[in-house]
C-alpha cells in the first residue's frame, strides 16, 4: 500500500486543497513511487474526473448523479448517489418550527433554502487502496 503521506496528498488533490509546495511534493512522490502512481491512476481512471458543483446548485442536487452515470460504472454512480444522500439527505420541505415568542422575523421557516455543495468526490474514497 502506498505510504500514508502520499495518500493524504492525493486526497487533498481530489478536493483541490493542495498548495504549491504540496503539489510539488506529491509530484515528487508520484515520480519516485510506482505504487503511489498506480493508486493515483486507479482513482482517476476508475472514477473519472467528477464535475464540480458550485455552491449555488439548486435543490434537488441530483443531476450530478445522472451525469455520473454517463461516465462511470453503475456501482460507482450509485455510490455517488449515496454520497449525495450524505450531503443533502431526503430533499423534503422542512417542517416549520414552533415560533419562538421573541424571535425576529427572518429565520426559521423564512431562512433561505440551502443547496449544499455536493462534490461527489467522496466516491473516490471507495476505490481499493493498494
Partner 1 sequence: MTSARERFDTLVAEHGATVVGVCRAILRDEHLGQDAAQDALLRAWERLRDGVGAPTAPAAWLRRIALTSALDLRRRRSLRDDDARHVRAPSPVESSVESPAVHAEFAELRARLDRALETLSDRERTVFVLRHDGGLTLAEIADTLGVATPTAKTQFARACVRLQAALARFDPKRSDTDAR
- What does the alpha-carbon distance between residue 112 and residue 130 come to, in Å, rounded to a whole number? 44
Among 7, 31, 36, 52, binds partner 1 (CB under 8 A): 7
Residue 75 as a binder of partner 1 (CB under 8 A): the answer is yes
With CB under 8 A as the contact rule, the residue among 31, 32, 38, 125 that binds partner 1 is 125
The answer to the question of residue 47 lying near partner 1 (CB under 8 A) is: no
Q: Is 60 in the site for partner 1 (CB under 8 A)?
A: yes
DSSP secondary structure string, 34-79? HHHHHHHHHHHHHH--PPP--TTPPSS--HHHHHHHHHS-HHHHHH
85 touching partner 1, by CB under 8 A: yes
Amino acid at each position: 500500500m502506498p505510504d500514508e503521506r502520499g495518500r493524504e496528498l492525493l486526497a487533498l488533490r481530489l478536493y483541490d486543497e493542495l498548495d504549491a509546495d504540496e503539489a510539488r511534493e506529491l509530484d515528487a512522490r508520484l515520480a519516485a513511487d510506482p505504487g503511489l502512481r498506480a493508486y493515483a491512476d486507479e482513482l482517476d481512471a476508475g472514477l473519472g474526473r467528477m464535475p464540480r458543483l458550485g455552491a449555488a446548485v439548486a435543490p434537488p442536487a441530483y443531476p450530478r448523479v445522472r451525469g455520473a452515470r454517463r461516465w462511470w460504472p453503475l456501482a460507482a454512480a450509485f455510490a455517488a448517489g449515496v454520497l449525495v444522500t450524505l450531503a443533502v439527505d431526503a430533499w423534503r420541505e422542512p417542517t416549520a418550527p414552533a415560533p419562538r415568542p421573541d424571535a425576529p422575523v427572518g429565520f426559521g421557516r423564512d431562512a433561505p433554502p440551502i443547496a449544499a455543495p455536493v462534490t461527489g468526490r467522496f466516491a473516490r474514497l471507495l476505490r481499493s487502496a493498494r
